[in-house]
Amino acid sequence: MKTTLLSTAAALALCGLAAQPASAQFKTQGITDTEIVIGTHMDMSGPIKSWGVPATNGMKLAVEQINASGGINGRKLRLVSEDDGYDPKKAVLQTQKLIELDKVFAIVSAMGSATTLAPMPLVQAAGLLHLFPITAAEFTFKMDPSKPEDRLKFNMFSPYYDTMRLGIKWVIENKGFKKPCIVYQDDEMGKNFTDAYTDQLKDLKIPEVTKVSFKRGATDFNSQVARMKADGCDLVALGSVVRESIGITTVAKKLGWDVAFVVSSPSFVPDFPDLGKEATEGIYGVGQTEIFYSDTAKGEVKDFIEAYRKSFGIEANQQATAGYNGAMVFAYFAKMAGKNLTTESMMAALESGKVFDDIFGGAPISFSKDNHLGVSAAVIGQIKNGRWTTIAKNQSYKTEK
Partner 1 sequence: MSAHIRTDYAQSDQLFASRASVIAYAALGVLLVAAPFLIESYYLSQLVFVLIYAIVGVAMNILSGQAGQVSIGHAAFLAIGAYSAAIAQKYGVPLPVYLVLAGAFTGLIGYLVGLPALRLHGIYLAIATLAFAFIVEEVLARWESVTHGNEGLMLAAPNVFGMKLGTNGFYYLCLGVTVVVMLAAINIIRSPTGRAFLAIRDSETAARSMGIDTARYKTSAFAISAAITGVAGVLYAHKLSFISPEMFSLAVSIDFVMIIIIGGVLSLRGAVFGAIFMIMVDPMLIVVKDKLPQITDAAMHGIGLGEPIIASIQAGVLRVVNAPGLKSLIFGLIIILFIIYEPMGLDGRWQRVKAYCKQFPLARQRSARPQRMFLKSERR
List contacts with partner 1 (CB under 8 A). Answer: 2-3, 5-7, 9-11, 13-14, 17-21, 44-46, 49, 52-53, 56, 82-83, 85, 87-90, 92-94, 96-97, 99-101, 113-114, 117-118, 120-121, 137, 139, 187-188, 191
d(CA 188, CA 183): 14
**In terms of CB distance, is 123 or 238 closer to partner 1?**
123
CB of 388 to partner 1, least distance (A): 27
CB nearer to partner 1: pick between 145 and 207:
145
* CA gap 213, 196 in Å, rounded: 15
Helix 318-337 with 343-350: angle, nearest 10 deg? 110
Identify which of residues 88 and 338 has a Cβ nearer to partner 1 in the complex. 88
* Nearest residue (CB) to partner 1, 107 versus 262: 107
The three-state (H, E, C) secondary structure of 246-286, written as one string:
HHHHHHHHHCCCCCEEEECHHHCCCHHHHHHHHHHCCCEEE
Please state the φ and ψ torsions of residue 30, each to the nearest 5 degrees.
Answer: 75, 15
Shortest Å distance, C-beta 83 to partner 1: 6
Q: How far is the CB of 53 from partner 1 (least distance, A)?
A: 5
Q: Crossing angle for the helix pair 318-337 and 49-68, nearest 10 degrees? A: 40
Report in angstroms how near the CB of residue 45 gets to partner 1 at its nearest.
4
* Cβ contacts of 286 within 8 Å, gap of 6 or more: 163, 164, 166, 167, 170, 262, 263, 264, 265, 268, 378, 379, 380, 381, 395
Nearer to partner 1, 124 or 249 (CB): 124
Residues 6+ apart with CB under 8 A from 73: 334, 335, 338, 339, 341
When the beta carbons of 111 and 225 are compared against partner 1, the nearer one is 111
Residues 394, 301: contact at Cβ < 8 Å?
A: no
Smaller CB separation from partner 1, 181 or 327: 327
Q: How far is the CB of 212 from partner 1 (least distance, A)?
A: 18
Nearer to partner 1, 72 or 137 (CB): 137
Give least dist CB 85 to partner 1, A: 6
Q: How far is the CB of 340 from partner 1 (least distance, A)?
A: 29
For partner 1, give the closer residue by CB, 87 or 244.
Answer: 87
Contacts by residues 351-359 (CB-CB < 8 Å, ≥ 24 positions apart): 356/328, 356/329, 356/332, 358/289, 358/321, 358/325, 358/328, 358/329, 359/299, 359/300, 359/301, 359/304
Q: How far is the CB of 79 from partner 1 (least distance, A)?
A: 11
Which residues neighbour 388 within 8 Å (Cβ) at sequence distance 6 or greater? 268, 270, 272, 273, 285, 291, 381, 382
Using alpha carbons only, what angle is made at residue 378 by residues 163 and 245, rounded to the nearest 5 degrees? 45
Q: How far is the CB of 100 from partner 1 (least distance, A)?
A: 4
